[in-house]
Amino acid sequence: MKKIRSYRYPIFIFSLFVLTVLNIIKIVARSRFAVNIFPNLHYWLWTIILIEAVFVFNIKIKNVLKIALALTVVGGALSIFRIVIAENVLKFGFILWIVGYLFNLIEIVRKNEIN
């Protein structure tokens, strides 16, 4: 576990780097290759980055969940007005829900905080 934790910075930076490169290729070069690979990969990269971000920046789990809720609120509101990006916002929100939920569960089990 300790060993894994020591890799958190490189993993975080590498994931962020790949995501940025892909985004640049997608936006600037409009390469079909990048467009194709992007939908498969970018949610995974985001998930890794968010998990790493919790470690790197010591984000409180409550805040992760609150951001997830905030994104869900925004996504929900956008969906009421049938704005196309609503679904993407909700998807990012959902990733945060999963990340937050898992950290919360781990914390409960680790600290034995069961009520």
Partner 1 sequence: MSSNRLRIIILWPTRRLNKLFYPFSKFKYMNKKIFILLLLSSVLLTTILFKDKTILGGGESGVPFYNITRMFKDSSSSWLDGLLGSYIPQSVANYPYLKIFSFLEVQGINGYVLQALFTFIALLISLVFFFLLTKEVFSNYPNSAYLFSSFFYLFNFYSAMNIWNRFLLNFLLFYSVLPMFLWLYMRFLRSRNFVYLGLFLMLSFIFSYAFSSPGHIMIFWFLLLFISLFELMKDKKKVAQVKNFVITLMLWLLVNFWWILQQAAYAISESFKSISTEYFSDVGNTIGFSFLSNVLGKFENLYLLKHGLFYNQEYDFILKWPLIYKKPLLLIVEWMASLYILYWAINNRKRLSVVFSLGLLLIGFILAKGNSPPLGEVFDFFFQRFSFVQFFRNPFEKLGIIPTMGFSLMIGPSLSDLAKKLSRQKPFLRVFIPLVSFTYIVVILGFPFWSGLVFTGSQAPLNDPEVGLRVEVPSYYKDADNWLSLEDKDTRFMTFPLGGEGIQYLWPKGYLGVEESAILFENANISSVLAFPYYDKIASNLQKLFTKNIDFYKIASLLNARYLLFRPDIEFKNSGMKDPAYIDNLFEERVSNEKANISFASQFGPLKFYKLDNKVTLPKIYAANNYVNGGSGADIEQFLLSGAEVGDVMYNSGWPVRNKLDANTSFYVSKNKAIFYLPGPQYPLFVDAPYIFPYVSHLPSSPIYSLLIIKENLQRNLYSDKESKLRWDLLTLGKRLIEVRNALSAGDEKGAIKSLQIYRKNLASVVSDIDLVSKSLKKPGEQVWNEKMLTEIFSSHLFLFNDFEKSTLNSDGSITDLKKQLLLSVSKLKILPYYYPIVSEDFPLESRVVYGVEIDSSGEYDVIFPKSIFFPEYFGINQRINIQIDDVVYSTQIGIDNNKVYFGKYYLSEGYHEISFNQFSKINLIDENLTSFELNSIHGEDSINIPIKTYDAYSQYEISFDYLIHYGNGPVLQVSLNNDKIIKKDGVETEQYYFEKYLPPDDYYFIKRPYSTVVNPDPSSDTMTLIFSAIPWNNCTKIFYKNPKKCSDVSISKTYERPTKVEITNLQIHPRFSRELFVLRVDAVDEKVSPKISFTKKSHTHYKVEVRDSEKPFVLVFSELFDKGWKLYLNGDSKRYPENNHFLANSYANGWLIENEGDFNLELKFVPDKFKEMGLYLSFFVLGLIFLITLLLSVNVFLSKRFNKGL
Site residues, partner 1 (CB under 8 A): 33, 36-37, 39-40, 43-44, 46-47, 61-62, 65-66, 69, 72-73, 75-77, 79-80, 86-87, 90-95, 97-98, 101, 104-105, 108-109, 113-115
Is residue 72 within 8 Å of residue 91, measured between CB atoms?
no
Q: How far is CA 30 from CA 19, 36, 84, in A?
A: 15, 10, 21
Smallest separation, CB 14 to partner 1 (Å):
19
Smallest separation, CB 68 to partner 1 (Å):
8
Distance CA 34, CA 18 (A): 11
Distance CA 64, CA 30 (A): 33
Smallest separation, CB 114 to partner 1 (Å):
5
